[in-house]
């Protein structure tokens, strides 16, 4: 029987699924539309009666195509899901997932408007670990991260990060009513979601809102300076056909033009040898004081941080063979000409973008830090560990238009059980079960 919960906004009820109580599509902020678009989020209005949290909410607008596999989306997207394992006592640890997607794609709501299936099924993870699992949407691409503040103070900066802070504030105020311990909240995220966690660890508004962090395959340096972001925005406005003197016209631009401009600017940025995600947060000296990799080292929060063995394969495997010889110069790699060039280019790009920055953080981190490397041979590109971690697939095969096969082979399933156990123990105890990096330089291998 699903409990009715009394939140600060009103009563809420959910659904029972796979031994868990799920509360889906909870509004944690006002809809960021009309006058609230491109501004930091505001608290939602309380509701009367009982809110039926029985279906996932809309996801953020996806960055590069209206035909993205997450097709249920829109600007009204600030919704949260809370999954509580049944028959557990009060004071449960809380794990909060921040999804990746290059700050441009991804989500945690319903996959489409024809089904109740969610991007992430949280139930297996929550049931196996005995922790409360939370995930939420935040604004993406130009709606969450394009810097238009220098054109008009009508547009605020880093809205996507402030959506995350608003979600964490809601959790602090309400998770105890769901059976969670607000003093034992662990953030975990992958890729741009992991980079957001590093940023949140350095922001005074966010730092008190969680206790521990798990950082998976962070694009550590994917942040823009104000000068870089302004140059990018000017380029973007040219591509979308809006004058910088009338930035408010962004409100009424044809969505098709938005998708086209997003694709064009992504190609332009990559062709210039830039690995920073196009719609990255801005180091403005106010909301973000400096690159998170420089500031996060002063944190004392327990930190579990790691990478996937062949991260860059996701980006290099699809490149035509004639392009590969030019990639070392383009991306400032030191790869030498010779046999197996594609493999070595990918490994060098993985080291530059992911592994070396992670080791740099771990080497000088003030708090307790543990490092891992995910080396499962059959699934070892950037983001391949995510469905294994959750124990369920929702994404279609990246190399096919066919729906995802939601099952795993026995080896991947066993590895997922191990990952969930470690992540759960870290959430409960603040350590994963192997030597700290500062003491032993140990990098724990999952394979």
pLDDT band at 411 (very low <50, low <70, confident <90, very high): very high
Would you state the structure tokens that stand for residue 442, as one six-digit string? Answer: 């140990």
CA distance 227 to 234: 11
94-114 average pLDDT score: 96
pLDDT at 165: 98
251-258 average pLDDT score: 92
223-242 average pLDDT score: 97
pLDDT tens profile 139-197: 999 999 999 999 999 999 999 999 999 999 999 999 999 999 999 999 999 999 999 99
CA distance 444 to 439: 13
CA distance 303 to 297: 10
pLDDT tens profile 422-438: 999 999 999 999 999 98
pLDDT higher than threshold 50 for residue 364: yes
Backbone angles phi, psi at 265, to 5 degrees: -70, -30
pLDDT at 337: 83
pLDDT at 405: 56
pLDDT at 406: 62
What does pTM read for this prediction? 0.96
pLDDT higher than threshold 80 for residue 393: no
pLDDT at 147: 98
pLDDT band at 73 (very low <50, low <70, confident <90, very high): very high
pLDDT at 409: 87
pLDDT at 395: 61
Contacts of 63 (CB under 8 A, 6+ apart): 101, 102, 104, 105, 140, 141, 259, 262, 279
Domain map (residue ranges) of the chain: 5-220+291-307+347-446
362-371 average pLDDT score: 97
pLDDT at 399: 43
Q: How far is CA 226 from each of CA 10, 84, 164, 229, 293, rounded to the nearest angstrom?
A: 41, 41, 21, 5, 17
pLDDT band at 2 (very low <50, low <70, confident <90, very high): confident
pLDDT at 190: 98
pLDDT higher than threshold 70 for residue 398: no
Task: Using only the alpha carbons of the chain, give its radius of gyration.
Answer: 21
Given CATH 3.40.50.1820, say whether it is the number of domain 5-220+291-307+347-446. Answer: yes
pLDDT tens profile 14-31: 999 999 999 999 999 999
pLDDT at 402: 45
pLDDT at 392: 87
pLDDT higher than threshold 80 for residue 79: yes
pLDDT at 396: 53
User: Do the beta carbons of residue 89 and residue 55 sit within 8 Å?
Assistant: no
42-68 average pLDDT score: 94
Beta bridge partners, 134, equal: 82, 96
pLDDT band at 400 (very low <50, low <70, confident <90, very high): very low
pLDDT higher than threshold 50 for residue 98: yes
Nearest to 415 by CA among 437, 440, 395, 390: 390
pLDDT tens profile 296-355: 999 999 999 999 999 999 999 888 888 888 888 888 899 988 888 999 999 999 999 999
User: Do the beta carbons of residue 306 and residue 216 sit within 8 Å?
Assistant: yes
CA distance 432 to 186: 13
pLDDT band at 404 (very low <50, low <70, confident <90, very high): low
93-107 average pLDDT score: 97
pLDDT band at 50 (very low <50, low <70, confident <90, very high): very high
What DSSP state is assigned to residue 181? Answer: E
């Amino acid at each position: 029987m699903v409990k009715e919960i009394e939140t600060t906004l009103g009563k809420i009820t959910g659904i029972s699924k796979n031994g868990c109580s799920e509360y889906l599509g909870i509004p944690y902020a006002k809809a960021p539309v009309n006058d609230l678009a491109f501004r930091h989020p505001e608290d939602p209005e309380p509701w009367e009666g009982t809110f039926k949290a029985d279906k996932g909410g809309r996801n953020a607008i996806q960055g590069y195509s209206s035909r993205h596999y997450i097709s249920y989306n829109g600007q009204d997207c600030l919704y949260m899901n809370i999954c509580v394992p049944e028959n557990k006592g009060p004071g449960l640890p809380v794990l909060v997932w921040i999804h990746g997607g290059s700050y441009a794609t991804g989500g945690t709501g319903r996959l489409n408007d024809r089904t109740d299936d969610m991007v992430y099924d949280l139930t297996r993870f929550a049931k196996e670990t005995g922790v409360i699992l939370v995930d939420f949407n935040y604004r993406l691409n130009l709606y969450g991260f394009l810097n238009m503040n220098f054109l008009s103070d009508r547009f605020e900066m880093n809205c996507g990060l402030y959506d995350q802070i608003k979600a964490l504030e809601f959790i602090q105020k309400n998770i105890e009513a769901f059976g969670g311990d607000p003093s034992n909240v662990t953030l975990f995220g992958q890729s741009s979601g992991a980079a957001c966690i590093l940023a949140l660890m350095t922001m005074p508004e966010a730092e008190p809102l969680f206790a521990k962090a798990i950082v998976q395959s962070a694009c550590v340096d994917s942040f823009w300076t104000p000068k870089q972001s302004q140059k990018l925005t000017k380029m973007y406005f040219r591509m979308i056909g809006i004058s910088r003197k009338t930035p408010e016209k962004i409100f009424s631009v044809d969505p098709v033009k938005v998708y086209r401009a997003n694709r064009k600017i992504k190609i332009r940025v990559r062709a210039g040898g830039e690995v920073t995600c196009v719609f990255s947060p801005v180091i403005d000296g106010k909301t973000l004081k400096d690159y998170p990799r420089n500031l996060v080292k002063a944190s004392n929060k327990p930190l579990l941080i790691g990478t996937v063995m062949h991260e860059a394969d996701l980006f290099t495997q699809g490149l035509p063979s004639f392009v590969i010889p030019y990639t070392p110069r383009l991306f400032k790699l030191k790869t030498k000409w010779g046999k197996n060039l594609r493999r070595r280019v990918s490994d060098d790009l993985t080291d530059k973008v992911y592994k070396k920055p992670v080791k740099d953080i771990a080497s000088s981190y003030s708090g307790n830090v543990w490092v891992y490397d995910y080396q499962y041979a059959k699934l070892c590109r950037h983001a391949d560990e995510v469905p294994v971690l959750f124990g369920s697939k929702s994404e279609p095969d990246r190399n096919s238009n066919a729906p995802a096969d939601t099952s795993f082979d026995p080896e991947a399933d066993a590895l997922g059980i191990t990952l969930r156990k470690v992540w759960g123990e870290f959430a409960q105890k603040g350590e994963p079960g192997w030597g700290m990096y500062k003491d032993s330089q140990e990098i724990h291998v999952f394979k």
